Amino acid sequence: MVWNEDGKEEQPMMDAVTLAEISDRIQIAIRFHQEMKITSWNLNHTESMTGGIYLLKETDEYFQMITSDGDISKIYFDEIMEAEILET
């Protein structure tokens, strides 16, 4: 973890290879209608959610996910720390 001068955790930097792998996983999940577990950076901490992606806005660099709780979450690509395709 990286901490700033205020004692808050800073968002970890992602390398190009990791970002490409995350993008590939998202594309596969969309194409084959698979659920994902997404870990994202949100307000100085990480947050994980599970669900299906139903709207992809590449030009605006985000997607929307219907979580297993039935909520709709908007997730920006630059906030994603990890993306895992779940086996069905």
Confidence of residue 7 (pLDDT cuts 50, 70, 90): low
* Pairwise CA distance, residues 85 & 21, whole Å: 12
pLDDT in tens, 25-50: 999 999 999 999 999 988 778 899 99
* Pairwise CA distance, residues 67 & 56, whole Å: 15
Q: Round the average pLDDT of the chain to a whole number and report it.
A: 86
Q: What domains can be seen in the chain, in order of their start residue?
A: 11-85 (2.30.30.100)
pLDDT in tens, 14-28: 888 998 999 899 999
Q: pTM for this structure? A: 0.80
Q: Which residue has the tokens 């594309």?
A: 27
In contact, 36 and 65? CB cutoff 8 Å: yes
By three-state DSSP, how is residue 15 classified?
Answer: coil
* Pairwise CA distance, residues 67 & 37, whole Å: 9
